[in-house]
Structure 1
Amino acid sequence: MKIFSREQIYEGDKLTIERQQISSTELMERAATQIFNWMHLRMQGAQVPIHVFCGIGNNGGDGLVLARHLITHGYNVKTYVVNYSDKRSKDFLINYDRIKTVTKAWPTLMKSEADFPQIHPDDIIVDAIFGIGLNRPVVDWVKNLFRHFRATKAFTLSVDIPSGLRTDEVPESHDDVVWASYTLSFVSPKLVFFLPQTAKYTVQWEVLDIGLDQEFLSATETAVELIGKYEVLPIYVPRDKFSHKGQFGHSLIIGGSYGKIGAVTLASKGALSAGAGLVSVFTPKCGYNIIQTAFPEAMVYTDTNEEIITDIKFDIVPTVVGIGVGAGTDVKTINAFEAFMKHNKAHLVIDADGINIISKKKALLKLLPENTVLTPHPKELGRLIGAWKDDFDKLHKAKAFSKKHKVIIIIKGANTMTVLEDKLYVNTTGNPGLSTAGSGDVLTGIITGLISQGYNPLVASIFGVYLHGKSADIAVEDYGYQSLIASHIIQYLGKAFIDMFKQPEEQQPPEEDGEE
């Protein structure tokens, strides 16, 4: 799913009005009617008090249209205009006049805290105060209104975006924004719904189709894409009946040190379970018996050193190399890593101490093949790209780093993001159970295994992140968040592949009682 920017949405509105020969007021009516339909389907006439708070711009106009439809359908509605300025948009004014035709009183005009209404926890708040076009500081009394909403503990539904939240900034204070229970977003979700510092402002979200011009929607390239099942399904390459392991590449996992052989074991298992034809492991001598016992499907090469990697030598030609997991940053290991990089011709996936080594010795960045995949956790990312001010600054720095060094960066998190230059891919799978030792090693292995089969590094990264999260989503049903471990991700990876082809279960109508 494309995530359109604020400027693109404005352009889409403009083109839709021109091509469909409608007015902006008619487009507003269409959009707000979709919100009404969403509410009406769920409420079915229930007489819960609904408090609709409208700003004086186009988001407020949406709120007025919604309130009018709710009133004409018999709902218990109280409408308020949050009068934070003397300026009003044209479409707000048109709908301000229209709502008077269905109610005996004008909406309540709010000018200060003295006008705040009493709201019961069982009531519903509709937040239609500010939209994506907010370009001014929120005045203090309106911020206090936001706090008032939160204090009531009432269900809060935001129109398009929680008021006070901008599409490209992190709020200075959490009191500057409405905390929505649910947001109905026009056209596409907003990037801020997926960032750690801003996702908290809406518990859930849903996209409403407001009928924007289809040619615009399909032809417009966006800088951000949301990745789910229907985005990865076309990526999958099925296997021919007569295929054999030689067609699916040879993955080499390099890493491990004394006490950390589990990391390469998990990564190599992840690579083979993701579909690599062959998997070899290069590790210190202490890892030989462990890997041969724990993972008999792998072939093992060892260093002459018992405890750390000091000299990387092997007699195979790998398709792809996953390097760094559990390797440590001993000087001898750093030297071995550099010597390997100077002669390597294969695709690279670099994780953990591989990233730490690069961070210590930035000259190694010049040795990275184009589209090398880097999979850092947050602290490793900070060592790589530098400290950031907030989530948007982090994305800016990651994009700049990717563009400069021609690498792919995977920013791990609740919505793991894959970055290639100015393009961002936001993953939708995964859960808190992934916050466990070794899950990153498994991800490195999965991406390595996908590249091994012929998926290009970007596609392998997007697909691998999705499968990794989906496997955890399936596994968590059996183990819960706390008991999910990295090995379960590998164990359930096959089910993640199979799940791509499952159709949503059709709901059966309830059986009716009848007389015999």
Structure 2
Amino acid sequence: MRIFSAEQLYEADKATVKKNQITSEELMEHAGTQVFNWLHKRLNNAPVPIRIFCGIGNNGGDGLVLGRFLLEHGYTVLIYVVNCSDKRSQNFLHNYQKIKAITNNGRFLMKGEADFPEINDDDIIVDAIFGIGLNRCPEGWVKKLIQYLNESNAYKLAIDIPSGLFSNSPITDPDAVLKADHTLTFQAPKLAFFLPETAPFATNFDVLDIGLDEEFLHNTEPLAQLISKAEAQHFYKPREKFGYKNTYGHALIIAGSYGKIGAAVLSTTAAFRIGAGMLTAFIPKCGYTILQTAIPEAMVITDEEEKFISDITLDFEPSAIGVGMGIGKNKETVKALEKLFKNNRAPFVIDADALNNISENKDLLKLLPKNSILTPHPGELKRLIDKWKNDYDKLEKVKKFSNKHEVVVVIKGAYSAIVFGDQLYINTSGNPGMATAGSGDALSGVLTGLLSQGYDPLLASVFGVYMHGRAGDIAAGQMGYEAVMSGDIVENLSEAYLDLFQNEDANEAPTEPEEKK
């Protein structure tokens, strides 16, 4: 699924109206119908008061269309017009006249705080105040209205986007944004739904297809692409019938130091679980017995040093290299990294202390092999690219870093983002249970294992992040968020593969009511 900017969606509206020879009012009617269908299917004429707060732009027009359909189907509806400006869109005025024709009750013009209605906990609030066209934070009594609605325990349903939230730019006043329980967004999800600072305002959402021109959208370069099961299925490379271990590469994991050999165990196991044909772990001497015991399938090379890695000497050419997990920041380890980058052209996954060493020794940046995959958590990322003003500034800084050094950057977290040049991919798998020690080590092993099988770096990143997250979802489904350990993620990579082509075990949704003519 693709994510578009507000400007691109407005252009899609225009293209749809022109191509289909319909009016913008007819397009709004269709959008309002989709919202009504979604809500009607779930409420089934339940006697619950529905309070619709409509702005005076097109988002308010969507709310009026919904209100009209709900009234025609016998719902208890109260409509409030948030009269915040002298400017009204033609689509709003058109639908305001339509709703006046069927009822004079339940309409209330709001001009200030004195007009705020009493709201009960069992009401449903529909937010249709501001849409994606908003270009500045709500102020004055309108801001206070949003705060008043946020304080209510009533269920809050936002149309297209929660009021006060910008589609693809940072917010400057979080207190002026509605916190929606659910958002029904039109045609495509918005970038704001996936970024740490803005996602909490739209924690749950459904995408409603309102019929925007598919050809126009297909030919429009998106802001980002969402990665879910459907996309991951296309990325998967099936195993060859007559393949053998060499077919799937010889991966090298360089990891561990005294007290952190577990990082090497986790990443090595993950590389095997994701499908690497062979694997060698390069570790300090203190980890030899641990590795040979924990993972008998792996070959082991030990450094001359007992407790840390000091010099990486290889007698084979690896298909892919994963480095950094738990290696520490010893001066000799930094020199070993420099030698490794200079002497090896295999595709790299660079994580953890390797990233920290690069941040503290900027000369290593010049040696970064092209197309390497960097997997920083927020702290490591900040050390690499410096501080950012907001999430959008962060993405721009990462894009510049990726372009300059020709590397893939995986920004780890909820909705992990994969950046390659100006391309942005947002992962949808994963859960809070994965916020546990070693989860990143497991991801590095997954990515290294995929590289060793011949996946190109961008594809390995996008597919690997999805599979890692899906394994975490399966683990959390078995034991709950709090109990998930990184080893559980690794063990469930096999289940993630099985799940990839499994039919969804869910009841079919009931047929939606037909669109009103």
- What TM-score comes out, normalization by structure 1 length? 0.97
Which residue of structure 1 aligns with residue 512 of structure 2?
Answer: none
5 Å-filtered alignment, 1:272-351, equals 272-351=272-351
- Looking at structure 2, the residues matched to 138 and 487 of structure 1 have their Cα atoms a distance apart, in angstroms, of 47
Following superposition, the deviation at residue 105 of structure 1 comes to 4.1
Contact 1:267–1:441 (CA under 8 A) maintained in structure 2 = yes
Instruction: Please tell me whether the aligned partners of residues 84 and 139 of structure 1 are also in contact (alpha carbons under 8 angstroms).
Output: no
Paired with 1:72 and 1:179, the residues of 2 have a C-alpha distance of: 29
2:318 matches 1:355:
no
Q: 1:479 to 1:105 in 2, by over 3 A?
A: closer
Alignment gaps of 5+ in structure 1:
510-516
After TM superposition, give the deviation of residue 203 of structure 1 in Å.
2.8
Q: Deviations over 1:376-408 (max 9, x none)?
A: 111111100101112111111111111111111
* Post-superposition offset of 1:276: 0.6
Distance 1:45-1:508 versus aligned 2 partners, 3 A rule: closer
Q: Does residue 483 of the first structure (1) align with residue 483 of the second (2)?
A: yes
Q: CA RMSD in A?
A: 1.4
Aligned residue in 2 for 1:374:
374
Letter in 1 for 2:364: L
Deviation of 1:151 (Å): 1.7
Most deviating of 178-187 and 477-486: 477-486
In structure 2, the partner of 1:465 is 465
Supply the AA of the counterpart residue of 2:103: T
Counterpart residue number, 2:149: 149
CA distance in 2, matches of 1:142, 1:406: 46
Please give the alpha-carbon distance, in whole angstroms, between the structure 1 residues aligned to 2:232 and 2:31. Answer: 30
Letter in structure 2 aligned against 1:21: Q
1:454 and 1:508 map into 2 onto residues whose CA distance is 38
- The 3 A distance-change label for structure 1 pair 106 and 40 is closer
Alignment of 1:389-468 (within 5 A): 389-468=389-468
| Displacement after TM superposition at 1:478 (Å) | 2.1
* 2:43 corresponds to: 43
Q: Distance in 2 between matches of 1:155 and 1:36?
A: 16
Q: Quote the Cα distance in structure 1 between the aligned partners of 2:223 and 2:94.
A: 35
* Mapping of residues 44-443 of structure 1, within 5 Å: 44-105=44-105, 107-443=107-443
Q: Equivalents in 2 of 1:499, 1:255: separation in Å? A: 30
Partners of 2:223 and 2:191 in 1: how far apart?
10
Shift of 1:171: 2.4
Tell me how far 1:169 sits from its aligned partner.
2.9
Shift of 1:106: 7.5
Letter in 1 for 2:141: W
Contact persistence 2:137–2:171 (CA under 8 A): no
Distance 1:350 1:506 in 2: 39
The residue identity in structure 2 corresponding to 1:487 is: G
1:160-216 deviation digits (Å, cap 9, x = unpaired) = 000000123332333210111110000111111111111111231000000111212
1:28-66 CA distance string (max 9 Å, x none):
111011001111111111121111111011101111111
Percent identical residues: 55
Q: Report if the CA contact (8 A) 1:179-1:201 is conserved.
A: yes
CA distance in 2, matches of 1:65, 1:16: 19
Report how far residue 137 of structure 1 moved: 3.6
Q: 1:223–1:422: 8 Å Cα contact kept in structure 2?
A: no
Distance 1:34 1:107 in 2: 22
> Are the counterparts in 2 of residues 170 and 391 from structure 1 also a CA contact under 8 Å?
yes
Equivalent residue letter for 2:241: K
**Is residue 320–residue 347 contact of structure 2 (8 Å, CA) maintained in 1?**
yes
Q: Offset of 1:5 from its aligned partner?
A: 1.1
SS at match of 2:10: helix
SS at match of 1:207: strand
Deviation of 1:72 (Å):
1.0
CA distance in 2, matches of 1:485, 1:105: 57
Q: For 1:269, what is the secondary structure of its paired residue?
A: helix
1:22 aligns with 2:7: no
Q: Deviations over 1:471-492 (max 9, x none)?
A: 0111112222122111111111
CA contact (8 A) 2:261 2:326 kept: yes
SS at match of 1:253: strand
Paired letter, 1:344 = N
Q: Residue 413 of structure 1: CA displacement?
A: 0.8
Aligned equivalents of 1:455, 1:12: Cα separation in 2: 35
Secondary structure of 2:480 counterpart: helix
Partner-residue secondary structure (3-state), 1:281: strand
CA contact (8 A) 2:50 2:125 kept: yes
Moved more, 103-112 or 387-396: 103-112
Separation in 1 of the partners of 2:38 and 2:318?
Answer: 54
- Between 1:46-55 and 1:166-175, the stretch displaced more is 166-175
1:506 to partner: Cα distance: 5.2
Q: What is aligned with 2:514? A: none
Alpha-carbon offset, residue 220 of structure 1: 2.2
Q: Secondary structure at the match of 1:203?
A: coil
**Structure 2: how far apart are the matches of 1:329 and 1:387?**
22
Q: SS at the partner of 1:41?
A: helix
Count residues with an aligned counterpart: 510
Give the structure 2 partner of residue 514 of structure 1: none
C-alpha contact (below 8 Å) 1:415/1:426 kept by paired residues: yes
- Range with greater deviation from structure 2 (441-450 or 150-159): 150-159
Task: Using the TM superposition, give the Cα deviation of residue 302 of structure 1 relative to its aligned residue in structure 2, in angstroms.
Answer: 1.1
2:258 and 2:307 in contact (8 A); partners too: yes
Counterparts of 1:10 and 1:188, CA distance in 2: 12
The offset of 1:361, in angstroms, is: 1.3
SS at match of 2:308: coil
Q: Distance in 2 between matches of 1:124 and 1:105?
A: 18
Q: Give the letter aligned to residue 480 of structure 1.
A: G
Structure-2 separation of matches of 1:223 and 1:195: 13
Whether the aligned pair in 2 keeps the contact of 1:100 and 1:106 (CA below 8 Å) is: no
In the alignment, residue 202 of structure 1 is paired with which amino acid? A
| Contact in 1 for aligned 2:197/2:391 (Cα 8 Å) | yes
Could you tell me how far 1:508 is from its partner in structure 2? 8.5
1:481 is paired with a residue whose SS is coil
SS at match of 2:37: helix
| Residue matched to 1:512 | none
Contact kept, 8 Å, 1:55 with 1:83, in 2: the verdict is yes
Q: 3-state SS of the aligned residue for 1:196? A: coil
